[in-house]
A and B are shown apart, each in its own frame.
Chain A
Amino acid sequence: GAGVSQSPSNKVTEKGKDVELRCDPISGHTALYWYRQSLGQGLEFLIYFQGNSAPDKSGLPSDRFSAERTGGSVSTLTIQRTQQEDSAVYLCASSFDGTNSYEQYFGPGTRLTVT
């Protein structure tokens, strides 16, 4: 079946503009995660959705970052008033449920460049 897909694959934007990144998880997966990967860094957790529960937003670096998940499926990560330090690869992952017993399946990521 289809894996996790993300769009766009690359995004170049000017400082101060807003961007929206999209994630389509694997059908039937109730848990969805967003991570940020900067050059030379590991994966930084941003936000986690599990079913209909309130999302865990503890990893969002500032109030310029927000995410939503509509209908328990597709998710959008929005970055407002982008800054150069927001440049990174944004990875989305989904899993069967939110317990760490289940494998997280990652999408290919969106490479964001803020000029």
Chain B
Amino acid sequence: TQLLEQSPQFLSIQEGENLTVYCNSSSVFSSLQWYRQEPGEGPVLLVTVVTGGEVKKLKRLTFQFGDARKDSSLHITAAQPGDTGLYLCAGAKGNTPLVFGKGTRLSVIA
């Protein structure tokens, strides 16, 4: 059973376009993390959201945690080729190991 569903699985867009990727679950999480992974490297944490309804911004990236703490979204404004990578969400329940989604593979074409 995949606790965290990410969509879309693949996304290819032109530089300058906006995009949103989603991370959905039927489970409630105490917090949710977003990571970006580039080829040949491990994932790097982008943000942690903790409070239902919370919105965090990181330059052109906007992260939102759902009110019920079951889902999250990542919106990128004016995508750049440097945004290319695999975006993973991971949910935390107490101190049990993080549960990762399968990721959204983003390709931004110049």
Q: Are A100 and B43 in contact (CB under 8 A)?
A: no
For residue A56, which residue of chain B has the nearest CB? B97
Binds A, one of B12-20, B56-64, B98-106: B98-106
Q: Mark A16-55, 1 if CB is under 8 A from B, else 0.
A: 0000000000000000010100001111110010000000
Report B37 CB to chain A, min CB distance, Å. Answer: 8
Report A45 CB to chain B, min CB distance, Å. Answer: 5
Q: Are B102 and A41 in contact (CB under 8 A)?
A: yes
Report B48 CB to chain A, min CB distance, Å. Answer: 8
Q: Are A93 and B42 in contact (CB under 8 A)?
A: yes
Using A41-B102, A42-B88, A42-B101 as known contacts, say yes or no to A100 and B42 having CB atoms under 8 A apart. no
Q: Are A103 and B45 in contact (CB under 8 A)?
A: yes
Report B23 CB to chain A, min CB distance, Å. Answer: 11
Q: Mark B1-13, 1 if CB is under 8 A from A, else 0.
A: 0001010000000
For residue B2, which residue of chain A has the nearest CB? A42
A contact residues around B100 at 8 Å (CB): 35, 42-45
A contact residues around B95 at 8 Å (CB): 98-100
B88 in complex: contacting residue of A43, A98, A107, CB < 8 Å: A43
B42 in complex: contacting residue of A58, A99, A107, CB < 8 Å: A107
A79 at the binding interface (Cβ < 8 Å): no
Q: Are A43 and B41 in contact (CB under 8 A)?
A: no
Residues of B within 8 A of A (CB): 4, 6, 30-31, 40-45, 48, 88, 90, 92, 94-95, 97-103
Report A74 CB to chain B, min CB distance, Å. Answer: 17
B contact residues around A108 at 8 Å (CB): 40-42
Q: Are B103 and A33 in contact (CB under 8 A)?
A: no
| A41–B41 alpha-carbon span in the complex (Å) | 15
Using A42-B88, A42-B103 as known contacts, say yes or no to A4 and B42 having CB atoms under 8 A apart. yes
- Residue from B41, B42, B101 whose CB has the most chain A CB atoms within 10 Å: B42
B contact residues around A106 at 8 Å (CB): 41-44
